[in-house]
Structure formats: C-alpha cells, structure tokens
Structure 1
C-alpha cells in the first residue's frame, strides 16, 4: 500500500529503461499463469476452445498494465496476477466474439485461424461465454492477501467494463455506425472509449485498487489510462490502413471494407497520428509525481504511438 507521496517522488535516473526486456519478462510471467489458469476437463472441446484463443499469444498489454500499476502503488505480483489473467480472459472473449460472422467476420487473429474457423460458430460463442464467466470466478477465488472489499471493487469494475456501460455498449454503437457517412468525433470517441478504452482503464485501475492505493492515485492513473486507451485505438485505426496482414496477425483493411467509422476517415492519417501523440503526452504528464518508479508506464505509453502491429 502507498504510505505517502514522498515514496512516489523519486528522482529520475539516467539509466535508459529497456521496455522490450520488461515486456518480455512480464509477458513470460503472464503466459505461465494463463497456461496454469485453465485445465482441460469434460467436455474437452469447450476447454480446448477456450485455451486455443487464450494461449494464442498477443502483446498481453492489459495484464502487464495491471501488474505494473500494482507494483507502482505498493502491491505484489501474487496479489495482482489473478486479476491480470482475468483481464486477458475478458479481452480474449471480446476478440472471439468480435471475429464472428455476425460481427467483424474475420478469419485470422494473432496470425492463427479465428476460434469459429477452428471450432465452429456455436463453440466459439460458448468459449467466449466460458472465458467471461471464469474471469470473475478466477478473481474471486484466486486473489490472496488482498482486502476483500478491494476484491469486490475489482469484480464490480470488471462487470461494468464488459457490460452495456462499457465494451458491449461501445460494440453496439460501432455496429450501428457502419456505413454511415456522418459520424462525429464525439460519437467515435464514445465508441472507442467504451469498446477499447474501458478495458485498458480497468487494467490500470484494478492493479492500484488491489494494492489499496488512495483515491488520488486511482484518479491519476485512471486519467493516464483513458488517454492511452484512446491513443491505442487511434493507432489501431491507422495500422488497419498502413500495416500488412502479416504485421497485424489479422486481415488488414477490414475497417475500410466494412465502412467503419475510424479516426483516419474523420481526420486523416497525419492529424490522427498527432492526436495520438497528444493523448500520450497527456498520459505521461499524469505520472510526473511518481519519478523513476513509473518508467514502465511511461514507456508503454510511448510504445503505443510507435508500434507497428
């Protein structure tokens, strides 16, 4: 737990933070925990389908953010890892469902055939449902040495994040906006703040809640997360135009083909990139009081606007 602000105002060091090494180490920890989180049971097919998508790789950015903010605010790896895994389960559910023919109808995800292409639409839907339900069970049963009230706060936060007030609501408005020529920046921001940003924000804030951080720190980290969440989506929109299928691990150009509302279609590529950088700069400003201890979060923010996949 954070005892006083003076612990979080360390002077900056001249050592260059190695983000690649940090992400590699944290991802390895997350991958191991995810592999251990779900065992094959009866009926085998549903567990195989759940594991197929959950263990298909990816950046693991959401669990890594949860672990980073827990560490920043005085928590431990053991306290945060069950929630970190649950966040990836929820994210994976959203990808499985998003790829379905009734949604984005995509054949590839993370360089592999999508879940419904391997197991069929019916099992893919159920695999997503299974991961979502299990995410809440996993937080409730596996989180140790954390104030029970804080566990409840995290569970409630995740529920709101994934429901109609968050991811589901953003997805509905996204679907309703397809093919419409007049989409405002306000509508587009609502879609992505809810569809993408809400889960990134929950990832950051959950780590702090588990560590029993003060409301001041939770608010500051929430502001950081909101900014990187929107920047992340803007760059996603840009990459859908500029990157290849191989870079993305999925079909490029799907947004344009589906006539989706995107930031480049509204502002153009150059202005979209500039807006993403502005958001990242604002996010980094929220970390000023933490000194060198927040370098992982700063580096992640910078990575968001420079990534190519």
Structure 2
C-alpha cells in the first residue's frame, strides 16, 4: 500500500519551494565570487528559467532526506539549490527547437521564446556551471570533503552517464524501436539520475554512512522511475492547460515510452508498485520517513 498525502506534506513542499525560490532569487542577483558582473540579458534569462515556479520536488527530497538523517539544513539548502539549477538548465535546453521544441513551460513562455535561442543556450550553460559555484561557495557550511563528494556525484548524475546521456537516448527513441528494458534504462538516466542524486545528496549532507547513502540512493532510483512513468501518463492523458506545457507529443512523434508499449492501466500499476517498493525501502525509519514516503506517492499521483 502507498501512503496518503496530507496537508503537512503539501505545506512542507510549498514551504521548501518558497525557500528555494528565495534562495535562488538572492544568489542569481548578478555577481558572485571574483568574476565580473553578469550581462543583464543573461541574468534575466537565467532568472526566467530558474524562478518561474515549479514544485521543486528535487530540492524537497534533498532537504527532507537531510532533515530525516539529522543533517545541517543550511548545507542542505546549498545542495538543493545546486541541484535545482541543474534541473532548470536541463529544462531550458530540453525546450529548444532542436530538442522537444516547446513554447510553454509552467504556463509561461520558454526561455528561447521569451529571449532567443542563443541566449537560452547560454542561460542553460550558466545555470549548469553556477550549480558547482553554489556547492563550493565559502558560505556553504558543509565540510570540504562533503562539498567535493557532492560536486563529483552531481557531475556524474548530470552528465553522459546520467541526465545528458538519457536525453540522447530519449531523442533516439523517436526514430528507433526501443524495448521495455531500453525505455526503463533511458528513463533511469534522463529523469531518474537527478531524483536519485537528490536523495543521496541529502544523506551525504547528513554525513551518513555508506549503507545509508546506498539505501537513499535506492529509494531515489525507484521514485525517479515512478516520476517518469507519471510524466508519460500526463503526456498521454492530461490537457496542456493543466500541465502547463504541450501534451500528446510522445504519441505525435511515435516515441517509444512505457505507455506506448504497455498501455495506460499497466503503466499506472507499475508506477504504484514502484512507490510501494520505495516506501518499503525506508520504512524502518518509522515516522521520520513519513514526508519522504508521501513525496513518493505524490510523484506517482501528480496531475501537473
């Protein structure tokens, strides 16, 4: 059985989204470190891509995992914001004409529409590199060895063996004929890598032992797969106004997805099974795991 979702979870999710938004609003002010002031257009495009709302589920997972394990909340905020910068950069690039070619994101014009394609590419590049600037910021209270570990793991999750590699496989799925194993592998990289990192990052911030980090990584792996299945279901069943971006694009491109192979009902069942498995993986933490377990259920049942 998967848990229900109560107001404590929704209130905490909203509070984390506000906190991350405020943190990024401050940090994306335009000048950091020893560098020059940021060009005004670039700064505006970065802010457009990073401060346009969203549920901030990845930062929530970082913060709540760290909190559950007794980690420093200020250090967790830096790790969470860095991860969100990576996520936002990926969305800016994902929306480009050469990728998914979307005009709307979260109910607003995408960065390349609000600005132009070249500025969108550079804004994504800037958010990518800014993530690592945040992690290594002297104001970040995490110990140096923790910062180094987070930098390496975030780079791996974001790169050729993680999100970027998954994006390549996702594009290939539009012209190939992937099987179920291929699709699940692609989704574990494209979407799952950053969600997996969110959970392990929270444990690293808490300076947890290797077994605990591995447990949280496993939890993140399962909810990452559930997240992408839920995304595929939304693309197949929801309307664009509800989701805040175009829907029905996977079918329009004949893209291989779990839904296209197995249908809507089987996809929903697989999604719920992943959530049940994920919740069981952290059940021994008792009530301390309630919010993370509800996050898993929320990921599977979300409507936008």
- TM-score by length of structure 1 reads 0.92
Residues in 2 aligned to 1:146 and 1:107: alpha-carbon distance in whole angstroms:
39
Q: How many residues align?
A: 293
Q: Deviations over 1:259-285 (max 9, x none)?
A: 211111011000000000000000000
Q: Name the stretch that deviates more: 90-99 or 298-307.
A: 298-307
Residues in 1 aligned to 2:98 and 2:160: alpha-carbon distance in whole angstroms:
18
Alignment of 1:116-127 (within 5 A): 116-127=112-123
Task: Report the counterpart of residue 147 of structure 1 in structure 2.
Answer: 143
Contact 1:17 / 1:295 at 8 angstroms: preserved in 2? no
Match of 2:137, SS? helix
Give RMSD over aligned pairs: 1.2
The alpha-carbon deviation at position 205 of structure 1 amounts to 0.6
Residues in 1 aligned to 2:73 and 2:188: alpha-carbon distance in whole angstroms:
28
Match of 1:144, SS? coil
Task: Report the counterpart of residue 37 of structure 1 in structure 2.
Answer: 27
The alpha-carbon deviation at position 143 of structure 1 amounts to 5.5
Residues in 1 aligned to 2:139 and 2:69: alpha-carbon distance in whole angstroms:
17
Q: Which has the higher contact order (CA 8 A, sep 6+)?
A: 1
Contact 2:67 / 2:73 at 8 angstroms: preserved in 1? yes
Residues in 2 aligned to 1:308 and 1:113: alpha-carbon distance in whole angstroms:
20
Aligned pair in 2 of structure 1 residues 34, 142: CA closer, same or farther (>3 Å)? farther
Q: Does 1:77 align with 2:55?
A: no
Select which of 207, 232, 235 maps to 2:230. 235
Structure 2 portions without partners, runs of 5+: 1-5, 31-36
Task: Report the counterpart of residue 20 of structure 1 in structure 2.
Answer: 10
Residues in 1 aligned to 2:139 and 2:232: alpha-carbon distance in whole angstroms:
36
Structure 1 portions without partners, runs of 5+: 1-15
Q: Does 1:100 align with 2:90?
A: no
Aligned pair in 2 of structure 1 residues 246, 209: CA closer, same or farther (>3 Å)? same
